[in-house]
Amino acid sequence: MSNHSDTKEAMLEKKIWAVIGANNDPGKFGNIIYRKLKSEGYEVYPVNPLHDKVEGDLCYPNLTSLPKKPEVLDMVVSPKRGKAFIEEAAALGIPYVWLQPGTTDTELLKLIQEKRLTAVQACVLVALR
């Protein structure tokens, strides 16, 4: 588990992202982060089985259904909901996981370690300022 700024920088240089937990509520982080990444020029895919569209864009139920393999996952869901996405990311060979505040617990962090994924715990909105 790394909180190093170089890992953050490396992730921010990747251009294809998936926002896990993207939604249509302008007051919620899943929406704010999705819009922010798009406005910064990232190719970003909303992933949320509860929505067909986010901000007018096609929303995907899981990572496997995405048209392109993201380089970074931005997790905006509870650890309980996040575990399946971590398993899926490892299976698909998606190396980077950006964990928003409040999206982790010990089990999730252990899973990320076991799957040998690279993760940072930070707010992407702060990092993009």
DSSP SS3 for 74: strand
For the chain, counts of helices (H) and of strands (E): 5, 7
pLDDT digits over 13-57, tens only?
A: 999 999 999 999 999 999 999 999 999 999 999 999 999 999 999
pLDDT at residue 129, rounded to an integer: 86
**Do 85 and 66 contact (CB within 8 A), yes or no?**
no
Model-level pTM?
0.94
What is the DSSP secondary-structure string of 1-24? ----HHHHHHHHH--EEEEET--S
CATH of segment(s) 5-127: 3.40.50.720
CA–CA gap between residue 3 and residue 7 (Å, rounded)? 7
Q: Is it the case that residue 65 has pLDDT exceeding 60?
A: yes
The single-letter code of the amino acid at 97 is V
Banded model confidence at residue 91, pLDDT cuts 50, 70, 90 = very high
